[in-house]
Structure 1
Amino acid sequence: MTIAYWSVLAAALLPYIFTLLAKAGGPRYNNYSPREFLEKQQGYRKRAHWAQLNGFEAFPPFAAAVIIAHQAGAVQSSIDTLALAFIACRILYGVMYLANKPTLRSLVWMAGIGCVVALFVSAA
């Protein structure tokens, strides 16, 4: 399996780290109505919830881009580099969300989307 394919797995699992942060500590977690519980969180826990939601939203285009780049025969080292850069952006995005740095978070988000676009372009 390539580094890029492993990155797809990492991208699929990364939102769950933020889910754990959103649920940890604070008021007791209620598994009976987890969505309602998460929406009532405040501070970094609320931002961790938002980061996990965005992680789930960012995953499909990234996974598709990696698969399409592989199928189209793009240069493997480029695919791997862009996939790792995307994962780094997603981690940094989450950190910026937790730290409540919206401008930096948006810049990192754009860099991550840039990686996805570059993966698609590499397949052309």
Structure 2
Amino acid sequence: MMTAAALELQLLAAAVVVGLVQFLWATLAARGQQGLTYGRGPRDQPIKLTGAAGRLERSYANFLETFPLHAAAVIIAYLAAKLGDLTLWGSVLYVAARALHPILYVIAIPFLRSLVWFIGFCGTLAVVAAIFL
């Protein structure tokens, strides 16, 4: 009989979905700016993305920097049987912040975007802290 996955693992799966949506959004914005001909070619000469497409590209790159660290922390906490309130709320903060980050980046709200990034980072720190408590 299968048991329900820990909420932290479900939130990790939600973070994967956030990443997939962000990847698709950034890719579509890039193709809209660079054109389909560029997208289907070898892309030997990069075309710098500007505006919303550039911000989406940077936000997605930031997601790629933070997600492996968060995922590793959640998996370690799960395997070490360290799940609890700290890991749950840390996971919620990470997923919510990562879902909001590209939106705030696209509409160019710099300080709020940075605050939301920091909240997501604190979520990962909370999961890491739980491993050592």
TM-score of the alignment, normalized to the shorter chain, above 0.5? yes
Q: Is the CA contact 1:15–1:51 (under 8 Å) kept in the aligned structure 2?
A: no
What's the Cα RMSD here?
A: 2.2
Q: Check whether the contact 2:92–2:123 (CA below 8 A) recurs between aligned residues.
A: no
Q: Does 1:67 align with 2:75?
A: yes
The residue aligned with 2:35 is 28
The alpha carbon displacement at 1:58 in A equals 0.7
1:12 counterpart residue number: 16
The TM-score normalised by the length of structure 2 is: 0.78
- Per the normalisation by structure 1, the TM-score is 0.83
Whether 1:117 and 2:121 are equivalent positions in the alignment is no
Matched, 1:47 2:55: yes
Q: Which runs of 5+ in 1 are unaligned?
A: none
Which runs of no fewer than 5 residues in structure 2 stay unpaired? none
Deviation at 1:46, TM superposition (A): 1.0
Asked which structure has the greater CA Rg, the reply is: 2
Structure 1 residue 107 corresponds to structure 2 residue 115: yes
Partner of 2:66: 58
For 1:94, the aligned partner's letter is P
| Kept in 2: contact 1:66–1:119 (CA 8 A) | yes
Deviation digits for residues 56-113 of structure 1 (CA, Å, limit 9, x no counterpart): 1111110011112212322434322321221001111111111111211111111111
Identity %: 27
| 4+ residue runs over 3 A deviation | 33-37, 75-78
- How many aligned positions are there? 123
Distance 1:56 1:83 in 2: 16
